[in-house]
Structure 1
Amino acid sequence: MDSMVLEAAAPLVRQRTPDDDETGRPVADAAPGGASAGDGSPAEQDADFGDAAAALRLLALLHAQAPTPAFLEDLRNNPIGGRGLALDRDDAIQASALIDEVVSDLPPRITRRSISPLASDYTTIHVTGEYCACPTEAPWLDVQARPAAAASLRGWRAGFETALRRPPADRLPEDHVAAELLLLAHLLDLGRKADGVQFLDRHVLRWIPGFCSRIATRCREPFYAGAAILTTAHLDHLRDRLGSACGMPRPNGDGADVRRRRRTEGQFPLTCDCEG
């Protein structure tokens, strides 16, 4: 898992993207009334998002590669529920318990043969697309919106390519679910909370909850149902935490309440090009 840890660095200057205002600053840095959303207020200074960045990296690993005996042995020795991933909310607690139960039920000596059902389900999710749930952002967007979204994502990644191209992320598309989770974790490492809000709203929350909802209801293995539910729970929780720290509440009409209701029903209104 050490290969997925991104080194912290001094804040880098991002290239201007379609998401920036006329000054070249990220739109999220400009709070209503001209105040800076990242102005060092006591609430923002007191907020430590190191735990959230670590959680995002672990979630990214669940989506980035097929499970290995070594990875699952690590999960058995260090259960999800004890690694900052069991939030105080029912969906996260139940999802963490589900993953930990699957791992604890594996034989004492974990072999590739014993985890072949998990590896097969990973392949179905991320390679064959049989669940009709694309693990990349573009297919979830309208065709007309894809060029702007791709340009925006390239802007966000500018200056971070070395950090974001370490194995196993080096073989993933830039808009893969794991790649976007790692980029978000990197923003938090750099203390860019307002940018984290903007990246969630402009990219991550536009499609990852839909992807996770579909995986949770269609996958064969409870392990990946738990991973999907846990991912959505953490992103939802993180948006509220960052918004509170930066004074940037969710936009009116963002559909968060509707998403939460539909999530409990195993439904989500988004579709992607993988839909049969």
Structure 2
Amino acid sequence: MVNQMAGSTAETLIAEDPLAVFCSAVTGDLSLLAMLHDIEPEEKLLSALRSEGFSTSLGLRLKSDEGQKSLAFFDETLRALPEDIGTETLDQLAADYASIYLNYGINASPEESVWIDEENLICQDSMFQVRSCYERHGLGVEDWRIRPDDHLVIQLRFLQFLFEKNPDLEVVREVAHFMDEHLLRWLMQFSNRVANRCDTPYFAGLSLVTAYYCEELRDLLANILDEPRPTSEEIEERMKPKRQVESVPVSFMPGMGPAV
């Protein structure tokens, strides 16, 4: 009875609150995208995506030309899979997954630091910045040595977590800031490189859909907040390390002016 009452209340709230409807739809989409980047594709998953139609399963309908083209490409890729998805297809996808997410064989790291750091190193300032964002909500990664805090999957999961909270404009603003300062600073570069270098159209389509989805999501947040998106230059200026200016004592020597 308690569960039935809770479900009824949630449905009533969603029906009455457009922001709740939006957040609920985006939560489901982010969960799906994170899962697809998280694991090697399996036969059951691929068959479900093919039969249901990926683009129609999204709660957020992409409107941009690039977004629609990426969805059409990914849908066609799924339809083109063999009727009986056998070992050969799964092995090809597993090898491509490993090349992208495990051994970086195509030089397209799914970790933010590699794209932001001047020396393209992992586990740099970006990782600690996103870790601070997680810690404010009592969250943390299981093992940053295996999958660092700034990994694509974890950033998508964090956005999912925020959208699952009681939706209000402050949550929306926090999501917007996190996307500006972290995910969207590197996601399109990652996705384009994957699309150009990976061996299977599956991961090319998935990477592009993810990037264009997140771009359109951010545009919608700007509309909800009635606040324009900051430019890339404004974001980079905002994220520059703040210099610490220390006062240096002035010393004097007989017959000389001040020396520092």
- Take 1:142 and 1:81, find their aligned partners in 2: how far apart are those partners? 34
Q: 1:75 maps to which residue?
A: 49
| Higher-helix-fraction structure | 2
Change (3 A) 1:255 1:224: farther
Q: 1:51 maps to which residue?
A: 25
- Whether the 8 Å contact between 1:118 and 1:221 is mirrored in structure 2 is yes
Amino acid at match of 2:27: A
The total of aligned residue pairs comes to 211
Q: 1:237 maps to which residue?
A: 216
- Whether the 8 Å contact between 2:106 and 2:198 is mirrored in structure 1 is yes
Amino acid at match of 2:22: D
- Whether the 8 Å contact between 2:40 and 2:97 is mirrored in structure 1 is yes
Amino acid at match of 2:139: E
Per-residue deviation at 1:224? Answer: 1.2
Amino acid at match of 1:197: A
- Take 2:43 and 2:173, find their aligned partners in 1: how far apart are those partners? 38
- Take 1:133 and 1:233, find their aligned partners in 2: how far apart are those partners? 17
TM-score, normalising length: structure 1: 0.67
Query: Is 1:100–2:79 an aligned residue pair?
Result: no
Q: 2:172 maps to which residue?
A: 193
Please point out which of 79, 85, 92 is paired with 1:117: 92
- Take 1:254 and 1:44, find their aligned partners in 2: how far apart are those partners? 33
- Take 2:43 and 2:156, find their aligned partners in 1: how far apart are those partners? 23
Q: 2:133 maps to which residue?
A: 156
Q: How far does the alpha carbon of each residue in 1:56-97 deviate from its partner, in whole angstroms, 9 at most, with x for none?
A: 221112211111112112212221111126512222222222
- Whether the 8 Å contact between 1:60 and 1:178 is mirrored in structure 2 is yes
Q: How far does the alpha carbon of each residue in 1:124-178 deviate from its partner, in whole angstroms, 9 at most, with x for none?
A: 111221211111111112259975432321122124537x75xxx9963221111
- Take 1:147 and 1:124, find their aligned partners in 2: how far apart are those partners? 22
Query: Is 1:60–2:38 an aligned residue pair?
Result: no
- Whether the 8 Å contact between 1:47 and 1:245 is mirrored in structure 2 is no
Query: Is 1:251–2:225 an aligned residue pair?
Result: no
Amino acid at match of 2:65: D
Per-residue deviation at 1:54? Answer: 1.6
Larger Rg: 2
Overall identity of the aligned pairs, in %: 28
Change (3 A) 1:170 1:129: closer
- Whether the 8 Å contact between 1:212 and 1:232 is mirrored in structure 2 is yes
Per-residue deviation at 1:223? Answer: 1.2
Q: 2:115 maps to which residue?
A: 140
Amino acid at match of 1:92: G
- Take 2:233 and 2:222, find their aligned partners in 1: how far apart are those partners? 14
- Take 1:239 and 1:47, find their aligned partners in 2: how far apart are those partners? 17
- Take 2:33 and 2:66, find their aligned partners in 1: how far apart are those partners? 15
- Take 1:175 and 1:197, find their aligned partners in 2: how far apart are those partners? 16
TM-score, normalising length: structure 2: 0.71
The answer for unaligned runs of 5 or more in structure 2 is 1-16, 236-260
Higher-RCO chain (CA-CA 8 Å, sequence separation at least 6)? 1
- Whether the 8 Å contact between 1:68 and 1:112 is mirrored in structure 2 is no
The answer for unaligned runs of 5 or more in structure 1 is 1-42, 257-276
